[in-house]
Chain A
């Protein structure tokens, strides 16, 4: 390399030495809590035997399932057609205001197949069995489903 090229290399790394640590620290600072992606690795529980109620839309079939004693509940989602949203979070809608991100996060719909999310019994009643689908990137509430209990 000649002198000018060596200088260009050095300037490039001086800039990177400044920008990369800033980017690194900023990215760590904004990591969301809880981390949404964790759901994708979770082994979904077996389907509970009884379907209490179910609804369907253009993109999915949603079923509220329970065990025979009606003590454990779960939400089952089957994505039938891809969404035009990069990621969709599923919330249990309580009375904590309209902002979807203040609701109870059940999980995310970002892989194929059926997904099942356990629902605490008291929260299910508090939410009057209402579930919302929300795009966190576009900040769009896609739809709300209310099941019959």
Chain B
């Protein structure tokens, strides 16, 4: 969390993350350049750099897209998600180098301005086999530019979490454009099947993981807890909280996280105000609910962030009837104090 906007809010983990990322990029580029130069000594050096950056950009884009579903499957991947935006901006930077070099190299030497040449040199827009694949890459790069430019928390705060998140789903359109850019471009010109196999494996892996986790989440959303008298949700038995801090239930529209803290139960919205992280999958750190994605914190009783932070989330009323924990499905406005339900006496 941060009170002021800085270009990058550095901490040890981010420094380590970026350092490892930079090292991997350098190793990849050097390996690609040296191996290619040895195998194809006559290859034009600019062409070589275009290929190295292009292949690295698609590799990084796959990594970015793998992180989300991997975190849904196993929380051990969460450290990768913490700094995913740096990975995203890096992906754009590498893709931009590839794009600009390609534009200058393939369209910069003629009488027509390079950007116009990009759209007019190959006019076969109605043909699948001869389609101008570079145009697909151009539009994918534009989407990545928009996402990289708005990746900072400044834009997240000012555009609103919902709008920002919906806008960043455009990465899937960029992914489709990139895959078609490759399939109608380099794959049509490449005799080795290796790249095609790697691309296919990455694509199928991503589709499989996203569909699997997406359908699993959809089923959870559809599973509304049983309604009992007076419109309360049955969240479970008291014993459900014996060996864990949290439980997530659904009211049919949104998810509710019920936390046990100091032998009391409090319920809050499961959605973090920052990037929509799942608070119920986080932990209580020094009495605060802590988002597993980026560490945003909230008090369980009223859903407010500890001062001087100002984020607030909706809260829900919790009741204990006999051995059952009941939750009011209607949220209270963000930041409303709701007395927690005391479980210490009920357990005795």
- Chain A interface residues toward B at CB < 8 A: 1-3, 5-10, 12-14, 16-17, 19-20, 23-24, 26-28, 30-32, 35-38, 40-44, 82-86, 111-112, 136-138
Distance in angstroms from B283 CB to nearest chain A CB is 19
Distance in angstroms from A136 CB to nearest chain B CB is 8
Q: Does B24 sit at the interface, judged by CB under 8 A?
A: no
B43 surroundings in chain A (CB, below 8 A) = 40-41
Stretch at the interface among B89-97, B120-128, B295-303, B340-348: B120-128
Interface residues of B in 97-154 (CB under 8 A from A): 106, 109-112, 121-124, 128-130, 132
- A-B contacts, 27 of them at CB < 8 A, read A2-B254, A5-B162, A5-B276, A7-B218, A7-B221, A8-B169, A9-B210, A10-B214, A10-B217, A12-B169, A12-B172, A13-B207, A14-B211, A16-B175, A20-B176, A20-B203, A27-B188, A30-B129, A31-B188, A43-B41, A84-B110, A85-B121, A86-B121, A86-B122, A111-B44, A137-B123, A137-B124
A16 surroundings in chain B (CB, below 8 A) = 172, 175-176, 207, 210
Interchain CA distance A30-B180 in the complex, whole Å: 13
Question: Across the two chains, which residue of chain A brings its CB closest to B220?
Answer: A6
B44 surroundings in chain A (CB, below 8 A) = 111-112
Stretch at the interface among B12-20, B53-61, B189-197, B317-325: B189-197
- Of A8, A17, A30, A35, the residue contacting B166 (CB under 8 A) is A8
Looking at A8, A24, A26, A35, which has the most chain B CB atoms within 10 Å of its CB? A24
Q: Does B271 sit at the interface, judged by CB under 8 A?
A: yes
Question: Across the two chains, which residue of chain A brings its CB closest to B122?
Answer: A137
Interchain CA distance A86-B187 in the complex, whole Å: 17
- The total number of A-B Cβ pairs within 8 Å is 120
Interchain CA distance A56-B129 in the complex, whole Å: 33
Interface size class of B (residues with CB under 8 A): 35 or more
- Of A20, A86, A111, the residue contacting B179 (CB under 8 A) is A20
Known: A6-B214, A17-B211, A112-B44. A82 touches B110 (CB 8 A): yes
- Of B111, B121, B128, B166, the residue contacting A26 (CB under 8 A) is B128
Q: Does B183 sit at the interface, judged by CB under 8 A?
A: yes
- Chain B interface residues toward A at CB < 8 A: 40-44, 47, 106, 109-112, 121-124, 128-130, 132, 162, 165-166, 169, 172, 175-176, 179-180, 183-184, 187-191, 196, 200, 203, 207, 210-211, 214-215, 217-218, 221, 253-255, 271, 276, 278
B200 surroundings in chain A (CB, below 8 A) = 24
Question: Across the two chains, which residue of chain A brings its CB closest to B182?
Answer: A27
Q: Establish whether residues A13 and B122, one from each chain, have CB atoms under 8 Å apart when the complex forms.
A: no
Known: A7-B218, A24-B179. 18 other contacts (CB 8 A): A5-B276, A6-B214, A7-B221, A10-B217, A16-B207, A17-B211, A23-B180, A24-B200, A27-B188, A30-B129, A31-B187, A31-B188, A37-B191, A40-B47, A82-B109, A82-B110, A111-B44, A137-B121
B129 surroundings in chain A (CB, below 8 A) = 30, 32
Interchain CA distance A89-B196 in the complex, whole Å: 25
Distance in angstroms from B9 CB to nearest chain A CB is 23
A17 surroundings in chain B (CB, below 8 A) = 207, 211
B172 surroundings in chain A (CB, below 8 A) = 12-13, 16
Known: A12-B172, A13-B214, A137-B130. A30 touches B188 (CB 8 A): yes
Looking at B110, B183, B276, B278, which has the most chain A CB atoms within 10 Å of its CB? B183
A31 surroundings in chain B (CB, below 8 A) = 187-188
